[in-house]
């Protein structure tokens, strides 16, 4: 009797014993592969610690030349900063509008047909896969130098990213909202306007604010390839070895991006509250 009781207890302990998650093995394997690949890359790409040390010393020496900053060209620099800001605003707004048009038919719970959803998501993936800088180079070839290719590049990049996050937000809403509106005989546009859009509006605004932060930083970089804005002023100063002017341009870029980030954080906090 006691033997049967002991075996019964052992079986119960085995059943109640927490099982090792199978995913742990895969995580360990990926960590080992990732670590090996990291050290292989260090060797394959000739990561030179000596050059890193000498480069750091040269960088510090360059910093001494950059200080104090040269404010003499403040007018064209501030004009270029305004241009970069305008490029970011126009590109982001156009990207948001494009994403709003495409996100609803791309969502699985609202799509007119599965092929339509798959097609829009595939196009958005392609837009995201190509960096904004490459898009700028493509548009420079197509429409020439200036802020216009920068606007187009940011629009394409913003649309690709926002279509994805907008679609995910739409697909995560309660299915009961859509079913209830369908039961009342509401059409597709009525379901979106009165049921779906109010439910995802807060998430949409948060994503738009976040995207604008990134576009503000990208608009300063695009000028380096000829897409207008303050990036061109920085590139021109560096190529002319006017490091004190370059430092002033860098300070303006920092002030722009940091200010936008502070305002964005305040907006996001208000949205959450």
The pLDDT value recorded for residue 54 is 83
How many structural domains are present in the chain? 2
pTM of the model: 0.76
Flag whether pLDDT at 1 surpasses 60: no
pLDDT tens for each residue of 237-264: 888 878 888 888 888 888 888 888 888 7
CA distance 126 to 3: 67
Are 236 and 109 members of one domain?
yes
> Which of 30, 49, 66 finishes a domain?
66
Task: Say which CATH number the domain at 215 has.
Answer: 1.10.3720.10
**Mean pLDDT lowest for which of 4-13, 65-74, 180-189, 192-201?**
4-13
Q: Are 162 and 211 in contact (CB under 8 A)?
A: yes
Q: What mean pLDDT do residues 19-34 have?
A: 75
The reply to whether 50 and 92 lie within a common domain is no
Q: 197-222 and 74-106 helices cross at what angle (nearest 10)?
A: 140
What is the residue range of 163's domain? 72-272
Peptide bond preceding 76: is omega within 30 degrees of 0, i.e. cis?
no
Q: For 167-183, what is each residue's pLDDT tens digit?
A: 998 888 877 777 887 77
- Note the pLDDT tens digit of each residue in 213-225: 888 888 888 877 7
Of 28, 47, 66, which residue constitutes the final position of a domain? 66
Q: What is the pLDDT of residues 60-86, one digit of tens each?
A: 777 777 777 777 778 888 888 888 889
How far is the CA of 125 from the CAs of 93, 94, 122, 138, in angstroms? Answer: 20, 18, 5, 18
């Amino acid at each position: 009797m006691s033997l049967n009781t002991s075996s019964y207890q052992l079986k119960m302990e085995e059943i109640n014993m927490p099982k090792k998650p199978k995913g742990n093995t895969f995580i360990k394997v990926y960590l080992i592969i990732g670590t090996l690949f990291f050290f292989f890359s260090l060797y394959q790409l000739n990561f030179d610690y000596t050059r890193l040390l000498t480069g750091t010393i040269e960088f510090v020496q360059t910093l001494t030349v950059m200080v104090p900053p040269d404010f003499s060209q403040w007018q064209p620099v501030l004009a270029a900063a305004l241009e970069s800001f305008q490029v970011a605003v126009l590109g982001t707004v156009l990207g948001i509008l494009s994403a709003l048009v495409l996100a609803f038919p791309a969502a699985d719970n609202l799509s007119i047909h599965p092929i339509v959803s798959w097609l829009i998501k595939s196009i958005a993936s392609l837009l995201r896969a190509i960096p904004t800088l490459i898009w700028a180079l493509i548009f420079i070839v197509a429409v020439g130098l200036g802020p216009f290719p920068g606007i187009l590049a940011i629009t394409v990049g913003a649309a690709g990213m926002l279509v994805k996050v907008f679609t995910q937000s739409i697909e995560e809403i309660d299915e009961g909202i859509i079913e209830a509106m369908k039961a009342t005989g509401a059409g597709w546009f009525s379901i979106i306007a009165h049921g779906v859009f109010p439910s995802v509006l807060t998430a949409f605004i948060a994503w738009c604010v976040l995207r604008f932060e990134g576009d503000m930083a990208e608009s300063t970089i695009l000028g380096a390839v000829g897409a207008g804005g303050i990036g061109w002023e920085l590139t021109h100063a560096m190529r002319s070895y006017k490091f004190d002017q370059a430092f002033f341009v860098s300070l303006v870029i920092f002030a722009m991006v940091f200010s936008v980030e502070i305002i964005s954080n305040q907006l996001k906090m208000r949205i959450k509250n």
